Amino acid sequence: MSASRTPRRIDGMARAPTSALGDRLDAIRAATVQLAAPLSAEDCALQSMPDASPVKWHLAHTTWFFETFVLERFIRDYRHFDPRYRVLFNSYYNAVGDRHPRPDRGLLSRPALDEVHAYRRHVEGHLAPLVAQADDDAELASLLELGLQHEQQHQELILTDLKHLLSRNPLQPAYMERWPLTPVKPRASRWIGFTGGMVTVGHHGAGFCFDNEQPRHQVVLSPFELASYPVTHGDFLAFIDDGGYTRPDLWLSLGLDIVQAQRWTAPMYWERRDGRWTTFTLRGRVEIDPATPMTHVSYFEADAFARWAGARLPTEFEWEAGAADCAIDGNFRDSGALHPLATRMDPPQGNPSQIFGDVWEWTGSSYAPYPGFAAAPGAVGEYNGKFMCNQYVLRGGSCATPRSHIRATYRNFFPPEARWQFSGVRLARDPR
C-alpha cells in the first residue's frame, strides 16, 4: 500500500458505538475463536502438509491482516503487540516484507496459543474506535470489510486444514461428536436445459465482492445442460468399480501422471475397512453414504469422472448462468454439519439443486482475469491477481463456507491437483 498517506491519530481504546459493521466484526472474529475452542494447544500448533497451516497460524494471520492493512495505516504511532509478528504471520504479501516459510509454520511452537489470543485482543481493542469512523471514510470501510471477508476465508481453511491434520493421526480423532444421520434415498439426477446466448457475468450492485469478480461483462454461451444434482459418493463408487483410476483414456496426461505417482485409487480420505468404503470426516471415520455429494476430489478426478459419464465440467460462466435464479441457501458451515448432506427435497422446476453449499464445484475454466481487470495498487493488490496462473475455478461454496460469505459471482480457485478442500463435481453437457 502507498506509504505517502499521513495516518490520522486515533486516541484511546474505548469500545466504539454499536454499529452493523461493529457487530459483524465482533461476530466474525468470535466465530474464528469458537472454531478453535474444541481443540488443544497441540492441535492448534501442528501442520500436516505444506499446503495447510496450523490453526494457531490462522488465528494470528487474520489478526496480522487487520494490523498491517488497517491499524498501521489509520493509527499514528501505532504500537505493535510484537513487531516480530510482521514476518511470522505474513502469508504471501511480498510488498509488506519478509515472510516465514510456509512449509515451516508448524515449527512455530512460540508464540504460545495464549499469546496469539492476546494478540487478537490487542488488535481488536485498537479496531474498535476505528469502526465508528468507517461511515465517513470509504477507504477505511473498504479495508475493514476486506479484513472480515478475508477472515471468513480463513475460517473455512481452519476446518479443511484441521480435517487433513486429524486424518493423519492413527487414532482418527473427531473434531466434533458424531451426528445421527438418517439414510436418504438417492435421487436420480436429470438434465436441466439453458438456452445460452449473450449473458452478463460478474458482480454488480452495492454489496462486497473481491476484485477477481469484476469487471462485469458479457459472454456468449451456446445452449447447455446442467445436472440437477452434484455427483454423489454412489456415482463415484461406480466410476471406481469400473476401473476409472486405471483407464488412461479418461485422464488428462498430467492428471494420469499424478494418479500414478501418488498411487491414487480413490478420493482423498476414502479407505476400505472390512470390505466397505469409509471416509474420514470432521466427526470421525464413517461409512460412505451413497446419496451425499462427492467431495475431496481434484480437478483431474472431476474431469476424468465427467469423461467416464459421457459429459463434461461446466464452464464457470455456464455455472453462473445456471445459478442466477437460485436462492443462496443450502448446507453451509452455519448448519453445523461440516459434511455434505443428501438432499431430501426436489429442486424448484428448472433450477439445479444444492448448487450453493455442500461442495465447491469444479468448473472447466482456468482462473484468469476478466477483460479490463486491474489489481489494486500496493500490497492489497496481491490478494487475488497474482494467482491467475495454473489454477482452475470452483463455484458455489461448501459445508465449511460461511453462508454470508458466498454469492453467485464468487470465484474460488485451486491448482488442479488439490483435493483437501471440500471440492466436488456437477456435470454439464451439450444438448442432444
pLDDT tens for each residue of 267-308:
999 999 999 999 999 999 999 999 999 999 999 999 999 999
- Residue 101: inside a domain, yes or no? yes
Same domain, 122 and 246: no
Alpha helices by DSSP H, 168-275: 233-241, 253-262
Q: Of the ranges 150-159, 179-188, 396-405, which one carries the lowest mean pLDDT score?
A: 179-188
CA–CA gap between residue 58 and residue 400 (Å, rounded): 15
Q: Of the ranges 30-39, 56-65, 130-139, 264-273, which one carries the lowest mean pLDDT score?
A: 130-139
Same domain, 293 and 356: yes
Same domain, 125 and 260: no
Same domain, 362 and 219: yes
Cβ atoms within 10 Å of 373's Cβ, excluding its own = 17
pLDDT at 15: 35
Q: What is the DSSP letter of 69?
A: I
Same domain, 259 and 331: yes
Residue 92 has pLDDT above 90, yes or no: no
Number of independent structural domains in the chain? 2
Q: Tell me the average pLDDT across 154-162.
A: 98
CA atoms within 13 A on the CB side of 270: 21
Q: What is the DSSP letter of 375?
A: P
Same domain, 103 and 56: yes
pLDDT at 379: 64
- Residue 369: inside a domain, yes or no? yes
**Which residue segment(s) compose the domain that 160 sits in?**
20-167
Reported as a single tens digit per residue, the pLDDT across 121-139 is: 999 999 999 998 898 899 9
Same domain, 102 and 203: no
Q: Chain centroid to CA 196: how far?
A: 28
pLDDT at 349: 76
Cβ atoms within 10 Å of 397's Cβ, excluding its own = 28
Give pTM, 2 decimals. Answer: 0.92
Q: Of the ranges 53-57, 94-98, 155-159, 322-326, which one carries the lowest mean pLDDT score?
A: 94-98
pLDDT at 4: 31
Same domain, 34 and 117: yes
Residue 95 has pLDDT above 90, yes or no: no
Same domain, 272 and 144: no
Q: Quick one: which of 143, 187, 223 has its CA closest to 353?
A: 187
pLDDT band at 266 (very low <50, low <70, confident <90, very high): very high
Residue 163 has pLDDT above 60, yes or no: yes
Q: What is the DSSP letter of 344?
A: -
pLDDT at 142: 92
Same domain, 220 and 326: yes
Residue 1 has pLDDT above 70, yes or no: no
Same domain, 158 and 203: no
